[in-house]
């Protein structure tokens, strides 16, 4: 059986999830070049969810520092209740074909 040390060396995929949206399939299918979703952020500003192999484990605030996007961990969580959905607005590209 592998020791904990060995297991600690196993790599997993870490993802930074900017937001989770609930989008009707038809809107998603019609989301073409130049179209954009606009999501209004609350007063705490932008944040991301860190997800390890599909499992959320931390929340981080995001800020631009020296022109770079930097996430600072604000909360380590085992059960993330942030998996709600953000309200969004879609703006269709004016140059997109109908």
Partner 1 sequence: MSQRTAEPHSAPAPQRYELWRPVIGSEDRGALERIHQELAAEWSRGPLERGDDGGAVAFEGFGFEDFGRFGKTIRAAQIAFLAIEDTPVVGMLMLGIDLARDLVDTRLGAPAPAEGTPVSFSPLESGLLHQVLNQLAERLAEVYGREGIGKLKVTRVGEQIDDLRLFAPDDCLIAFRFRVGEKGSALRLSIATSLEMIELVKKLAGASRPAPGSQAVARIVREIPVRTRVILGSWRVPIREIAVLKRGDSIVLPDGADAWLEADGVRLGRVKIGIDRRQLTVEARRGKSSRVR
Contacts to partner 1 by CB under 8 A: 7-26, 28-29, 31-41, 45-46, 48, 50, 52, 54, 57-58, 60, 62, 64, 68-76, 85-86, 93
- Residues in contact with 23: Cβ distance below 8 Å, sequence separation at least 6, in sequence order: 31, 37, 88
Phi, psi of 8 (to 5 degrees): -65, -20
Q: How far is the CB of 56 from partner 1 (least distance, A)?
A: 10
Q: How far is the CB of 64 from partner 1 (least distance, A)?
A: 8
- Residues in contact with 68: Cβ distance below 8 Å, sequence separation at least 6, in sequence order: none
Q: How far is the CB of 58 from partner 1 (least distance, A)?
A: 6
């Amino acid at each position: 059986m592998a020791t904990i040390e060995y297991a600690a060396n196993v790599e997993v995929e870490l993802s930074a999830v900017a937001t989770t949206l609930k989008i009707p399939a038809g809107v998603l299918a019609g989301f073409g070049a130049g179209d954009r979703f606009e999501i209004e952020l609350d007063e705490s500003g932008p944040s991301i969810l860190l997800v390890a192999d599909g499992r959320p484990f931390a929340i981080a605030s995001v800020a631009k520092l020296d022109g770079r996007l930097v996430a600072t961990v604000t909360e380590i969580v085992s059960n993330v209740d942030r998996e709600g959905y953000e309200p969004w607005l879609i703006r269709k590209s004016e140059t997109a074909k109908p």
